[in-house]
Amino acid sequence: MRLLIMGPQGVGKGTQAALLAEHYQIPAISTGDIFRYNLKNQTDLGKKVQAFIDKGELVPDQLTNSIIKDRLAMEDAQQGWILDGYPRNAAQVEALDQMLAELETPLDKVLALQADRQVLMDRMTKRAEIEGRSDDTPDVIARRLDVYAKETKPLLDIYKDRGLLLEINGVGQIDQISKTVISQLDHLDHTV
């Protein structure tokens, strides 16, 4: 199973990615988590990306693409993966297309989780209280949602045109959403 999880910040991508990873026994790869790990440990990469993340801007493509390229080459990613938070703009879609063509491993499906802006703002404000992320302040949250609307949301049309898009409502019980996703993906398995 090679899957992208897309959708705005706060829609529950990370939660669903973890449940799907468990179900399919494949790694969930989150560029946001990789960046946060590097920020926390103040690595060279962490220092390079800090200013972008703190402002809610996208990290430059070259850095992001090379992280994904290295990660997809790792042993545990050979049987499949779930990418959470990548690709996020048209250039990253192109870079991923190229990587997957070289690896001869096409995408199976693109899962798009959806929710209203107000629901997302509320969820992220709550998460900020719990996790204390430096980019979960109201201004940065709003900026990240704007960047999503401008740069990332249009990518859904690209995957829709390729017949890969599976759109699911991200508001509701976590377990129920994951069951719906898995049943749709399993159905896909049986039909191909």
Chain residues that interact with ligand AMP, rule: CB under 6 A: 9, 31-32, 35, 52-53, 56-59, 64, 85-86, 88, 92, 135, 144
Q: Is 79 helix (H, G, I), strand (E, B) or coil?
A: coil
Q: Residue 101 CB, nearest distance to ligand AMP (Å)?
A: 19
Q: Is 47 annotated as a binding residue?
A: no
Angle at 48 between CA 5 and CA 107, to 5 degrees: 20
Q: For the chain, what is the largest distance between any 2 Cα atoms, rounded to a whole number of angstroms?
A: 47
86 in a known ligand binding site: yes
Active site residue 117: no
Handedness of CA 43, 47, 53, 58 (dihedral sign): negative
The question of whether 13 is a catalytic residue gets the answer yes
Report the residue number, 1 or 59, with the smaller CB distance to ligand AMP.
Answer: 59
Annotated active-site residue 71? The verdict is no
CB of 104 to ligand AMP, least distance (A): 23
Residues 6 or more apart whose Cβ sits within 8 Å of residue 33? 14, 84
Sign of the dihedral defined by the CA atoms of residues 154, 157, 159, 165, in that order: positive
Binding residues: 10-15, 31, 36, 57-59, 85-88, 92, 127, 133, 144, 172
**Residues annotated as catalytic (active site), given as ranges:** 13, 88, 127, 133, 144
